[in-house]
Amino acid sequence: MAQLSEEQKEQFWRDGVLVVEDAVTAEELADLRRVFAEWVEESRAHSEDYGETLDGRPRFDLQPGHSAEVPGLRRVQSPEEVSEVFAHTMRNARTVDLCAELIGPGVRFHHGKVNSKLPSTATKVKWHQDFPFEPMTNDDMITCLLFIDDVTLDNGPLEVIPGSHKGPLYSHWHGGRFTGAVADEVLAGREGEIVKCTGKAGSVCLMHACLLHGSAPNLSNDPRTLYIATYYAEDAIELSPNHLPSTLTHELVRGEVSGRVRCSAYQMELPEVPEGTSFFAQQESAENV
Ligand SMILES: O=C(O)CCC(=O)C(=O)O
């Protein structure tokens, strides 16, 4: 059964972004919310980033200022490795069928994470494109941002520049470091083009990996938590070390193995894997350049 109308597909390829409601079932959503709430409770007992991912970096990333009273759990890396609920969603949610209609039939998993902006925290995401973090032989790659909470204009929604996925791919290097953010000049004069992606919990924002995006701090008393899973066309091959490797990386989630590789023409600088817990620290380092 077709998941997306022709109009929705056209919108995705034209704008590089499409919000679709009911991307998970009510039960899947309730499970995701429950597991994340447990992680927030657990974070109250920690004063530093903790846990460990496949490449030895911490799994649970705390916003500076985090405390037992005001938890600032801003990122859980590769949640699918430590939660059956997240692994189930990564493999089975309707989101994956939507991706298969856009870039399939064969689709593989690239990486996953939870990004949360809890109330009274300063968590923000500087403007960037995802593809310069994760070069592949072709750019049929979609970042799926699943809304675990309602996303409103006040709680730090994803902000995008529609159409920016058509190019150029901007430098994310500044002062000799990969900062994971584009230069301020890239946004200069484009404020009028910015669109905020809002929607009710259970919706997914499908975003082309080359789209310019960022997000501001949460100014409300409600959390804004996203489960972000990135998928790519089965006939793409990774060209640099995965910045968030997990035991599930490259798993085929839809379709068959084709035994083929497809290349698109582009050029850009290679990225650097973050030395700190996640790209939040990488982006913050840009403030010191
Ligand atoms: O959390 C957000 O608002 C955006 C997330 C994002 O762009 C990322 O993690 O790469």
Mutate to test the pocket of ligand 1, among 145, 147, 164, 283 (most ligand atoms within 8 A of CB): 145
208 vs 169: CA distance, rounded Å: 12
* Nearest Cα to Cα of residue 225 among 97, 122, 73, 77: 73
Atom number, ligand 1, closest to the C-alpha of residue 226 = 1
* Stretch among 123-127, 153-157, 229-233, 284-288 having the lowest mean pLDDT: 284-288
Q: Indicate if ligand 1 lies below 6 Å from the C-beta of 228.
A: yes
Please report where in the chains the tokens 């994340």 appear, as a residue: 36
Exposure string over 115-127, b if 16+ CB within 10 A, otherwise e: bbbbeebebbbbb
Q: What is the pLDDT of residue 100?
A: 98
Distance 172 CA to ligand 1 centre (A): 15
For residue 286, name the pLDDT band (cuts at 50, 70, 90): low
Instruction: Write the pLDDT tens digit of every residue in 24-66.
Output: 999 999 999 999 999 999 999 999 999 999 999 999 999 999 9
Average pLDDT, the chain: 95
Whether residue 89 lies inside any domain: the answer is yes
Distance 1 CA to ligand 1 centre (A): 30
Whether residue 146 lies inside any domain: the answer is yes
Whether residue 1 lies inside any domain: the answer is no
Distance 128 CA to ligand 1 centre (A): 9
* Stretch among 48-57, 119-128, 218-227, 230-239 having the lowest mean pLDDT: 119-128
Q: Indicate if ligand 1 lies below 6 Å from the C-beta of 151.
A: no
Whether residue 156 lies inside any domain: the answer is yes
155 vs 92: CA distance, rounded Å: 28
Q: What is the pLDDT of residue 288?
A: 47
The CATH number that applies at residue 264 is: 2.60.120.620
Pairing of β 125-128 and β 213-215: antiparallel
Whether residue 214 lies inside any domain: the answer is yes
Q: Which domain holds residue 130?
A: 6-288
Q: Indicate if ligand 1 lies below 6 Å from the C-beta of 148.
A: no
Q: Taking residues 180-204, what's their average pLDDT?
A: 97
Q: Indicate if ligand 1 lies below 6 Å from the C-beta of 63.
A: no
Distance 260 CA to ligand 1 centre (A): 31
Q: Indicate if ligand 1 lies below 6 Å from the C-beta of 125.
A: yes
pTM: 0.96
Instruction: Write the pLDDT tens digit of every residue in 237-263.
Output: 999 999 999 999 999 999 999 999 999
* Stretch among 6-10, 86-90, 124-128 having the lowest mean pLDDT: 124-128
Q: Indicate if ligand 1 lies below 6 Å from the C-beta of 226.
A: yes
212 vs 168: CA distance, rounded Å: 10
Sequential DSSP letters for 158-217 = EEE-TTGGGSPPPP-EETTEE-SS--HHHHTT-GGG-EEE-B-TT-EEEEETT--EEEPP
Q: Indicate if ligand 1 lies below 6 Å from the C-beta of 282.
A: no
150 vs 27: CA distance, rounded Å: 16
* Nearest Cα to Cα of residue 251 among 78, 4, 119, 83: 78
* Nearest Cα to Cα of residue 61 among 114, 129, 119, 120: 114
246 vs 230: CA distance, rounded Å: 13
Answer with the residue of higher pLDDT: 280 or 92: 92
* Nearest Cα to Cα of residue 234 among 101, 92, 90, 108: 108
Atom number, ligand 1, closest to the C-alpha of residue 115 = 1
* Nearest Cα to Cα of residue 116 among 174, 72, 51: 72
Q: Taking residues 91-102, what's their average pLDDT?
A: 97
Q: How many domains does the chain divide into?
A: 1
Whether residue 235 lies inside any domain: the answer is yes
The CA-based angle 237-243-246, given to 5 degrees, is 80
For residue 277, name the pLDDT band (cuts at 50, 70, 90): confident
Instruction: Write the pLDDT tens digit of every residue in 124-172.
Output: 899 999 999 999 999 999 999 999 999 999 999 999 999 999 999 999 9
